[in-house]
Amino acid sequence: MRALLISLALLCSTLVAADGDDLAVGHFSANPPGSALPAGWQPYRLAKGKHETQYLLSSVDSRTVLEARSNGSASALAYALRADPKRTPWLTFRWRTERLIEKSDIRTKAGDDYPARIYVVFDYDIARLPFGERMKMRMARSLWGEQLPVATLCYVWEPRQPVGYSQWSAYTDRVRVIVAESGSARLGQWVDIERNVAADFRAAFGEEAPPITSIIVAADTDNTGETAHTWFGDISLHSRPAGGR
């Protein structure tokens, strides 16, 4: 899904997570179904010629959630913020999807489609990269814009690899793809996910996580031409895991 990777350039808002605070990012349930997207969420359109995934607020089990329908399409919704992963490292969200992408393959560009993704984008200074990587990133930014992010985590629902499996994106070694849910056992069910993004960043990049600048949700099927029907529940950042709250 090359178009999405080159389109993660976002401006940061002034929203800052205070020490010890819990931060609601995607508070979809606080809105009536059929209404406009919650404040702060913006459609993220991709390259010309790409069909767009359709997003709307709908009601499932008497609760408002974000519904996504992808048919050979690729686009996203983005929420800009400023949060300190040292203070609020725990990302919690829930998702539900009807079917997997049969041709999805985390190892290849052609298979880089998922019925559900959540990106966490970090404010990483390009000057910290080794010389070779810095030159590659500057070349990419000359093509796609100066705000192209340098360090991103991407949580996906993958058909084959086990939960916890991770590797670099087939497109770039500046996006670490992490399997948050795997296989078909829980298709059609709500699946609750909790990840320590600070720990995941450290494992991926070998250093402490810088500030978080945006959260992005997506369902994409542009590479495989398949379809996806997915729902996203509320998304939030917390200072402690669920068992400690």
pLDDT in tens, 42-56: 987 655 567 899 999
pLDDT tens per residue across span 199-230 = 999 999 999 999 999 999 999 999 999 999 99
Rounded Cα distance between 137 and 149, Å, is 9
pLDDT confidence tier of residue 127, bands split at 50, 70 and 90: low
Mean pLDDT of 179-190: 97
Q: What is the predicted pLDDT for the residue at 165?
A: 97
Range of weakest confidence among 4-18, 19-33, 178-192, 217-231: 4-18
Q: What is the pLDDT of residues 69-80, one digit of tens each?
A: 999 998 899 999
17 has pLDDT over 50: no
CA–CA distance from 232 to each of 16, 65, 177, 216, 243 (Å)? 23, 6, 19, 11, 22
Q: What is the CATH number of domain 2-123+149-244?
A: 2.60.120.260
Instruction: Please indicate whether residue 39 or residue 58 has the higher confidence score (pLDDT).
Output: 58
- The answer to whether 204 and 166 are in contact (CB under 8 A) is yes
b/e string for 88-117 if b means 16 or more Cβ within 10 A?
A: bbbbbbebbbeebbeebbbeeeebbbbbbb
Domain locations along the chain: 2-123+149-244
pTM, entire model: 0.88
**Cα-flanking dihedrals φ and ψ of residue 33, to 5°?**
-60, 145
